[in-house]
Chain A
Amino acid sequence: MQQRTDMSDGTEGQRTVAKTDEDWQAQRHIPWPSVFKGLTALALLLVLWTVIVYVSSDGDLTLVDVADSFIRLVVVGDSEGHTLIEHTLLSMYRVVLGFTVAIVTAVPLGIAVGRYRVLDSIATPVVEAMRPIPPIAWIPLAILMFSPVLLYSQVFIIWVGAFFPLLINTTAGVRRTEPVHIDVAKTFGANELQILRRVVIPSAAPEIFAGLRVGFGIGWMCLVAAEMVGSGLGLGYLVLIMQQAGRTGGVISGMLVIGLIGFFMNAVFTRCEKRLLRWRQEVAV
């Protein structure tokens, strides 16, 4: 479809016909290359599975075993009767909370730091000092700091994980705003708030979105780690107690759900990005 840009009049009619023809074909056509790729990926996964089963001490761990423990976890729950769904919902609740706090703090701060040089010179050294500490290393401190309420320490950990990627991406995006775009707004008499809303934020949107995607991924990872350390319910906790009970199938079920949620959220962000940033797709498909 890319080569349809020639404007010669003679072929105009032909081009129209050719296009409808091709579109018609596209509807029935089975996309063999992607089917093939999908099958290859599936085969690779199964091979990997076999290798893991072979290496692990739990020798008879088939797909059926995992499916079985998965269903048991959903219907009956763990040894204390908490179902997989309860664990999942609780983890989701925490991550939504922590991630929201991260967005609300990091994005405005990132915009301010990116736009106002004074703030930049104050904030950047602080950020650079904190950033090398892996977010997971904050877990023990977080548990101590918020000891009476476990939820707060978990929210804090997600915040730590998501905050920096969000802040750094937002700042970078804001800095990349074209000065001429700001000048355009000024010639119409735009005030600072209008400049931020109509120029700076839209032009930083691609970077902000990238920050959201990366930030969520890291926040999610940190939460799972925090749940393993800090107990309470949750997917991380579930995986841990399944391991302690020697239920490999349960461990894998928990891992699967953790992975699926990460994958799903990533897909959601990518979808939103594609829709909202249509202007950026410079290469027509």
Chain B
Amino acid sequence: MAKLSVHNIVKSYPGEGTTTVRVLDGVSLEIEEGEFVSLVGPSGAGKTTLLKIIAGLLPPDSGEVLIDGEVVGLGHSRVGYIFQQESLFPWLTVRGNIAFGLEIRGVPRDGVQRRTDEMIALIGMRGLEDHYPHEISGGQARKTEMARSLVTRPDILVADEALSNLDAQTRNYLQDEILRIWKDTGATVLFVTHNVDEAVYTSDRIMVLSNIPARIIAEFGVDIPRPRTRTSPECLEYRSKILDILRVEQEKAMQRIGA
């Protein structure tokens, strides 16, 4: 049984006047336990919308989300979420941010302490745990967000362009970090990105979302053993195949916005 299955999700937003804009047009996907799956798609394709529906933050118009075969609804809390924009609480330290989810769940204090310490060690942030978010770098903030999502051991981790807005070196480094943390925790990951290289470098499988109304229009199993070389011929081949599909969709998206 798939860890996560998404069946026929449809979602529209109110458009101008009385019209509605259909963003997701029957999206279905399945992810196995422990799999690392990327979702790529043109800008405005509804990637964030889909993740929010999966995480129970937004109701779909129709369709359903199942985790371990169980239908989950609005307000469920089985998905750890790394948001597209910066989302650390500025009034909490690194430690406070990581501990947040455990405290909300009512984990006893020594448990919170222990698991927060483990997480701080896992992301290599020892010595920075008492810093406030404005006192750490963007990459460190991303790692802290990841730790905050993982500390409650969610069934699935979804990450929404977690590594955009970072410089190339930090991004490459964090891709390796994510892979390492993924292996250490055995998490199931759904990773949204607009960076095809990143998807090819990290994922077991890559799904491509079309322009809106969006569906999944292609899927690639990446059969390259890790660690991968970003510039190897295999990687580049996947890359060009995916980019070809995306280029067409991106053009449609640009036309839609331009018109």
B87–A184 touching, CB < 8 Å: yes
A186 touches B77 (CB 8 A): yes
Q: Are B57 and A187 in contact (CB under 8 A)?
A: yes
Q: Could you name 13 residue pairs across A and B whose Cβ atoms are closer than 8 Å?
A: A181-B89, A184-B81, A185-B100, A186-B57, A187-B55, A187-B57, A187-B80, A188-B104, A188-B105, A188-B152, A189-B105, A198-B100, A198-B103
Size of the A side of the interface (Cβ < 8 Å), in residues, is 22
Residues of B within 8 A of A (CB-CB), count: 28
A189 to B79 Cα, complex, angstroms:
10
List 10 other contacts, CB 8 Å, given A184-B83, A202-B92.
Answer: A180-B85, A186-B75, A187-B79, A187-B101, A187-B149, A188-B100, A188-B105, A189-B105, A198-B104, A199-B89
The distance from the CB of B78 to the nearest CB of chain A, in whole angstroms, is 9
In the complex, how many angstroms separate the beta carbon of A139 from the nearest chain B beta carbon? Answer: 39
A117-125, A148-156, A216-224, A277-285 - the one binding chain B: A277-285
Question: A180 with B104: in contact, given A279-B90, A279-B92 (CB under 8 Å)?
Answer: no
With both chains docked as a complex, state the minimum distance between the C-beta of A172 and any C-beta of chain B, in angstroms: 17
Chain B at the A interface: SS class: loop
The residue in A181, A186, A282 that gathers the most chain B C-beta atoms within 10 A of its C-beta is A186
The interface of chain A, by Cβ under 8 A from chain B, is 178, 180-181, 183-190, 194, 198-199, 202-203, 205, 277-280, 282
Tell me the residues in window 51-97 of chain B with beta carbons closer than 8 Å to chain A beta carbons: 52, 55-57, 75-77, 79-81, 83, 85, 87, 89-92
Q: A281: nearest residue on chain B (CB-CB)?
A: B134
What's the Cα separation between A194 and B52 when bound, in Å?
20
Q: Which of chain B's residues has its CB closest to A180's CB?
A: B87
Closest to A202 in B: B91
- Which B residues are CB-close (under 8 A) to A180? 83, 85, 87
A183-B57, A186-B75, A188-B100 given; A278·B87 CB < 8 A: no
Q: When chains A and B are docked, how far (Å) is the Cα of A181 from the Cα of B89?
A: 7
Contact of A202 (CB < 8 Å), options: B87, B89, B132: B89
Assembled-state Cα–Cα distance A202/B92 (Å): 9
| Most chain B beta carbons < 10 A, residue from A185, A189, A194, A278 | A189
3 smallest beta-carbon distances between A and B, as pairs? A189-B77, A188-B101, A188-B104
